[in-house]
Structure 1
Amino acid sequence: MHEVEAKFRIADVESLVVALKAHGVELAAPAVQDDQAFAPVAWRYGDSKIGVPFARLRTEGGRHLFTVKVPGDNELSCEEHETEVADRDQMHAAVVAMGFAPTVRIVKTRRRGRWGEVDLCVDDVAGLGVFLELERLAPPGTSGLAAQAELVGMVTALGVEAARVEETYDSLLRAVG
């Protein structure tokens, strides 16, 4: 599957929630996600991410998900594969054995919603602040950049202060520290 995202830093989360509700979006109860990001051993921050596989182990509500993303048009337009795993520690060891190294731990409180065909998340990321993420699946052969432009238009229609961010949470966390 080809997942396309657009991400925005949010200054006023209450205004965002009101604007989403006005557009018919109801947010689910908050859930904590604990993500461990992985990169190929030879890859370093500052190197291009395009075409490079990155892995993630996520725990949420006692479930563990293993995901591999390969960025295409940019960091937020990726081929994605995901499956549930029974044992996070064993999967962590397997990912390392496959030639990946742990990079950044990302802990966030996420509230999910749906706006038409678009999944959205309001994320409070430890060490970074609050973000709005819009995600959709793009049909094969579709430009990730065109799909992202549509998502940006949706956020503009909300009429809230939202600064577009073109990096992933792991890159943002690495940059602060």
Structure 2
Amino acid sequence: MLEVEAKFAVRDPGEVRARLDRQGVHMARRQQEHDIYYNAPHRDFAKTDEALRVRYDDAGVTVTYKGPKIRVGSAKAREEFNLAVASGETLEAILSRLGFRRAASVSKTREFYEMGDVTVTLDDVEGLGTFIEIEILTESDREDAARRIGVTAKGLGVDGPPIYTSYLEMLVSKQK
């Protein structure tokens, strides 16, 4: 499965919420997310543009592998695999025993809005600010997904350049 998404900084999240409301789109849920990123003992994920993440949120614990980013117009696409796990602590112990090391963590409050197969999130990321992500999961048609994401962004009044770096990359860069 490919995750195609575009991310933008948001100056006024209230205005984005109002535009969503005017389109009849209401918040599906809000949750806290705490993400712990790992680096592999056999390669540097920062160099290979991959990510291994353990996410703790209101629904439970999920481990995610993300492949290298692919630019698709003003969006980016990544191969993504997600697996729910019963115990994050056990998973973290296994990763540690296998030589994986914690690289960084990201915490955010995320609001979800669903527009058919388009997911819009408003993210308040600790240490970074507020962002909107517009995402479509697709098997293959990443160009059409990117086009539809652009149309959605325009309809929500989102302007400014898209951000291609992940929250993890932004936090690591800020800490340097």
Name the TM-score class by shorter chain.
Answer: 0.7 to 0.9
The residue number in structure 1 matching 2:149 is 151
The question of 1:68 aligning with 2:65 is answered yes
Q: Contact 1:15–1:160 at 8 Å: present in 2 too? A: no
Q: Contact 2:32–2:110 at 8 Å: present in 1 too? A: yes
Q: Contact 1:32–1:108 at 8 Å: present in 2 too? A: yes
Q: Contact 2:64–2:82 at 8 Å: present in 1 too? A: yes
Per-residue deviation, 1:72: 4.6
Structure 1 unaligned runs (5+)? none
CA distance, structure 1, for counterparts of residue 158 and residue 76 of structure 2: 22
1:172 is aligned, of 167, 170, 173, to: 170
2:55 is aligned, of 42, 55, 58, to: 58
* Of 92-101 and 4-13, the range deviating more from structure 2: 92-101
CA distance, structure 2, for counterparts of residue 62 and residue 115 of structure 1: 21
Structure 2 unaligned runs (5+)? none
Cα gap change, 1:72/1:174 in structure 2, threshold over 3 Å: closer, same or farther? closer
One-letter amino acid of the structure 1 residue matched with residue 83 of structure 2: T
Helix, strand or coil: the match of 1:28?
Answer: strand
Helix, strand or coil: the match of 1:165?
Answer: coil
One-letter amino acid of the structure 1 residue matched with residue 19 of structure 2: A
One-letter amino acid of the structure 2 residue matched with residue 148 of structure 1: A
Helix, strand or coil: the match of 1:127?
Answer: coil
The residue number in structure 2 matching 1:94 is 94
Helix, strand or coil: the match of 1:154?
Answer: helix
Helix, strand or coil: the match of 2:28?
Answer: coil
Q: Contact 1:76–1:168 at 8 Å: present in 2 too? A: no
The question of 1:79 aligning with 2:79 is answered yes
Count of paired positions:
171
* Of 114-123 and 74-83, the range deviating more from structure 2: 74-83
